[in-house]
Amino acid sequence: MIAVIPTAKPEGPLRPQERSLAPLGMTALLFRAVAVIALVVGLASFARAETPDAALAELLKQARTKVPAECTQPHIDRLIKILCAKKIRIGIRDYYPLFAERKGDKREGYEVDVALAIGRMLGVDVDFVRVNAANRIPLLAEDRIDLTIATMGHNTQRDGQARFIRPHYYRSETTVVGPRDLPVASMLDLPGRTVCVTVGNGSNAELVSQGARLMLFDEAGVLPDRLKDQTCTLAAQDDSFFAKYFTDEDFNARYFQKFGFAQVPWGMAVARQGSTELARALDLISQVFHRDGLFVDIGRLHNIRLGFLRQQQEVWRTPECNTDAGTANPKCILPPLNTALQPTSFAPDVNSFEQWVEDRTGIDLTLPMLKTMPAWSLFKDGVFYSLVLIAGALAATLAFALVLGWAMGSRTFLLRWPARLLTMALQSSPIVLTLVIAATIAHGLFALSTETVLGAAIAALGLTNGANAGQAIGEAMWSLRAEGAQGGLFGRALSRASTQIVAFLVNAAKGTPIASFIGAPELLSSLTDITSFSSGRITTYSILLIFYTSVVMVVVWLCGRLKHTLEHRQAAA
């Protein structure tokens, strides 16, 4: 059509070269008339094809011409199947407040109304099929549903499993919710604070990287209750999840969305195989819904946040995007969230090993800490910091034991009583509280860093255990004096208190994992972080238990040697 345009010339006197065509007479005139008609028709049809509405109408018209002739044919596109069956099977959730809820036979929510609107556009009935997070993609591949509209974030990982419809019909973000008067406004306020999250949430890794401690839950449904009973001070979850709770006056009066991050577009999706025309039709429908504000209207009806939908309406109203090619224009559509984690160089070997173990033992071994670079890095750091912490705690315990033991065994009142009071206070303070106090003081004095937290943890563990061991040394000194011992009193007291010293050294090593409570990046913290964004919790925590038990047993053995040396000295004395 466009190819005829150069033949259409403006009216006017004939130029020399044109004059040569004059003898053609009526033939040329006829040719020109045909060219003009073709131009007009061509331009008209070009203009019509540029709008998504026209493209959709044309696509549906073409599809309908194949009904019913091709209905029995194998390998027809799902769009034809839907038109043949006069119904579309849409996977939808049963309980996701404001988005899709089932109350008896009635379904309601933003996604439900979007599904019904799509059915109307296609001129077919809607059959709802219940789906959940685990089966919403497999059911597409198994041809048990045609389309899923089920609060599904569009990420690079899922891109390979289903064909996502663009433009996206919603966008959520992870929101951090906490009491209104809690001074938290951004990620910068999170270091050292505990945030309640659900296992497997893609945004957990970002919270971890910002220094937050995570408390893991299996179900998002428990988070509001844990906020109310103060188990959680802060909770992070999709804003779409919290949307319903903020419609509750009491909840809204007490809690506030502190900030949001990790925005993820939500996509409807169809199967990757045999759905080319259906996907195209849905792309165009979604585009029209955005441009005409239908998504905004439905969203308003269900009290969901409209910011994204309004912004998208503006985008799809622009001439650049409001074309039949708009859904392929990177300036109009949003990219999927990139969730791919860089694998380690030995990840394939780890996978083979897991498979080998499963084949031979039936044990479902999963080693997430070895498969991706972020997890591997966390794991290595965790092991390193655990060993640093254990060595530090042992050294601090010994140092405090010697100092406090010497002070408590002193004849000077000014040395003895402060040491005794400190010991009594430390004995009366549960280790968790001692750690928190140490961390609070450290944060008050120094800038927050890994070294600060480790230092605070080492000091707390050393003081707690060193005070007890010191008490034993002090008591040994007094008992030696009572026995009339002269000279080398301190050394002999050490030998006499060797059993207690060793017991509290072992106790210090055993207590190191509790340092994770104040954010020390030891192995327990690292593995908790790893499991928050990957699978394999059972294996992971089994490895953790084996690691710490083995390390403590090594410490017990080393302390046994120390005790033997001290006792040998006493015997020699």
Partner 1 sequence: MNELRELLSSDFLPRFLAGMAVNFEIAAIALVIGLVLGLLLAAGRLSGGLVTAVTVSIISLMRAAPTFVVMFFLLNAIPRDATLFGSPFVLSGVMTVALSLVPYSAAYVADAGVDSIRHLRAGATHGAFLFLPNVTRAFFVMVMSSSAGAAIGVTEGITVILRQAEQLPSFDDRLVLFALGIVLFGIPLQAGFMLMSLFQRRFGRSTVEEEASA
Handedness of CA 317, 320, 321, 325 (dihedral sign): positive
Quote the tokens at residue 28. Answer: 């040329």
Cβ(223)–Cβ(237) under 8 Å? yes
When the beta carbons of 311 and 440 are compared against partner 1, the nearer one is 440
Paired tokens of 73: 């044919």
Round to whole Å and give the CA distance between 561 and 65.
89
Give the other-Cβ count within 10 Å of 289's Cβ.
Answer: 24
What gap in Å lies between CA 171 and CA 264, rounded to an integer?
Answer: 6
Nearest CB to partner 1, comparing residues 129 and 431: 431
Please say which residue, 430 or 484, places its beta carbon nearer to partner 1.
430
Footprint on this chain of partner 1 (rule: CB under 8 A):
181-183, 196, 215-216, 218, 226, 229-233, 424-425, 427-433, 436-437, 440-441, 444, 510-514, 516-517, 524, 528, 531, 537-538, 540-542, 544-545, 548-549, 552-553, 556
The β-bridge partners of 269 are 148, 164
Residue 233 CA to residue 328 CA, distance in Å, equals 44
- Closest to partner 1 by CB, 298 or 439: 439
129/436 with CB nearer partner 1: 436
SS3 106: strand
By beta-carbon proximity to partner 1, the closer residue of 306 and 448 is 448
**What does the block give as tokens for 160?**
């390979």
CA distance 259 to 447: 24
Distance CA 418, CA 260 (A): 49
Residue 315 C-beta: closest distance to partner 1, Å: 42
CB of 163 to partner 1, least distance (A): 33
Residue 496 CB, shortest distance to partner 1, in Å, is 18
H or E segment to which residue 103 belongs: strand 100-103
**For residues 66 and 443, which CB has a smaller minimum distance to partner 1 in the complex?**
443
Q: How near is the Cβ of 558 to partner 1 at its closest, in Å?
A: 13
* Min CB(316)–partner 1 separation in Å: 43
Asked if 396 and 512 touch (Cβ cutoff 8 Å), the reply is no
CB of 178 to partner 1, least distance (A): 10
Of the pair 40, 441, the CB lying nearest partner 1 is at: 441
Whole-number Å distance between alpha carbons of 223 and 411: 57
Residue 191 beta carbon to partner 1: minimum distance, rounded to whole angstroms: 14
For residue 554, count other CB atoms closer than 10 A to its CB: 12
> With respect to partner 1, which residue has the nearer C-beta, 59 or 227?
227
Q: What is the CA radius of gyration of the chain?
A: 36
Stated as kind and residue range, the H or E segment containing 155 is: none
Minimum CB separation from partner 1 for residue 96, in Å? 20
Smallest gap from residue 226 Cβ to partner 1 (A)? 7
- Alpha carbons within 13 A on the beta-carbon side of 77: 18
